[in-house]
Structure 1
Amino acid sequence: MKIAILDDYQDAVRELECFSLIDSHDVKVFNHSTRGLGQLVARLAPYDAVVLIRERTSFNRALLSKLPNLKLISQTGKVSGHIDVAAATELGIAIAEGAGSPTAPAELTWALIMAAQRKIVPYAMNLKEGTWQTVSTNQPFNTLGTVLKGRTLAIWGYGKIGKLVAGYGKAFGMDVLVWGSDASRAAAEADGHRAAPSREALFEEADVLTLHLRLADATRGIVTADDLARMKPTALFVNTSRAELVAADALEAALRSGRPGGAALDVFENEPLPADSVLLRMPYVLATPHLGYVEKDSYELYFSHAFQNLVDFFDGKCQAILNPEYRANVRNG
């Protein structure tokens, strides 16, 4: 069968142990993204199956309708709004979901918090330029880092990742404050953390605030300009979940106004992030290129499931189909 693997920016997939599951098939790995409908159609038209790396490429109805050979989309992890499931089902295209782990994104979140609070990146970059113990040669930005012990870690979302991050905060001596559903706040209290009395209090009390919410219609733009304006001028806003959780342009405006005082970001509305993004020019922003799941153990987990689902599908025994109704619409030939 002909298989396309999309958006493998680092050309890392072929080096994974699990690649052996499909290396006997006709596999093409694409290392560069394309966004135009015509370009995507030309690229993908010959393939029976595509393997998607998270949400790096979206599959809407217009694209799916122009891929007559496509029988399967094998997703690494879960589908999260980037595939038109209804259109795929109507067109007889199966979607297989995989599995993931909260460990890598939780660890990256903590790494960003530590790096931003202690200003590790600018210190290290300036050291390479021969400047000792200097964050910035622009004196207003040449500030000291701060420790985490005794400060308030505010977490919005107490799922698998949020729980891990809360545990890290507790281990570092932070006061962990959680907001979310009633069930999430109750679970946080059961684990020995504080439940925020209100959404407003979460933002007002935070020294570090980190988002761990799924992106859905109900959560899109859920963090507003008013929320951000409640943060301390010394606070750090952290987002390793989805950029679209924050109202459009609200974070850039908030950072310019000084509340919060800084941000650590791994996700952006447009990815890859353009080199001329204003966020990259802000000295109080630490930005990484969506690395939350980009780690060897996570890749092995993601792709072993995606590849096994693909093999099982063409053997007629895949148990991970998101849209089993596709069978009623399978195209003949």
Structure 2
Amino acid sequence: MHILIIGAAGMIGRKLTSALLKSGQVGGKAISKFTLTDVVEPAKIDFNGDVATVVSDVSLPGEATKLIAARPDLIFHLAAIVSGEAEADFDKGYRINMDGMRFLLEAIRQEGVKAPYLPRLVFTSSIAVFGAPFPEAIGDEFFNTPLTSYGTQKAICELLLNDYSRKGFVDGVGIRLPTITIRPGKPNAAASGFFSNILREPLVGQEAVLPVSKDVRHWFASPRAAIGFLTHAAELDTSKLGWRRTLSVPGLSTTVGEEIEALRRVAGDKAVNLIKDVPDQKIISMVAGWPRNFDAKRAIGLGFKAEQSFDEIIRIHIEDELGGKIGG
């Protein structure tokens, strides 16, 4: 099996690559080749089969065609710019988040004209495709009314994935990722970054800024759960999806205050005292239109799983990123 990971240099891309290397197979088929691509060169990996690391931007005409020419069996499309950046730079957001998907799908379709070709494409969408007003929990039948450019771009990609799958050009699965927390590394341009920052920094003895009130509620899953979503989607019997190819996956509905109390239980008052309230009206306004809770019955019925408590999410970060130790 030949696997192509677009966005392989990012946090999710790196963790996904590691998980696939450890498993060595997908759906009972041995992995024989990796193609890892991003706008910066992905890290080299230790793999007995073929490996290609490619610097490429699929939002540029012709780039997706080059990647698809090798006819990968399984494609993970993770590449995107994040919510805050997409909102700040309208042109860049549509070029990368929408055009990249369109070019990729079209490259797959054109490759299939030459000879039969039907790869599995796993696409990372977002809960940003939904906009207020919300029900108590967003169900599988709730409509998409995004309130940001990022959400709109992801919603368009979901429709494209549906249509290209319906026409038999690709075997697509879309995953609406919850906000992934705790993200390792340095803060990024995502408006949701503070959800991770207020946990990640205090866990290593550093101060963090909280720009919203503690009663803000949101939908979360860990990086470990996100990799589980992607690998499960790669093996899924897509005949069970029908014409609705994108799923809202499980997660945890938690307030910022509950996040902080979970941090207190795991790491104590010393860590919590490093969080400083610094209201940011721009972020407060954006957060007001974000989803807060989901009833992910469809995905759960298909075998997708996430954490059961926020304490578990924090402990996963400590185990996976901090070597099991807390403190600076």
- Aligning the two structures, in what range does the TM-score lie when normalised by the shorter sequence? 0.3 to 0.5
| Larger Rg computed on CA atoms | 1
Structure 1 or 2: larger strand share? 2
With normalisation by structure 1, the TM-score equals 0.36
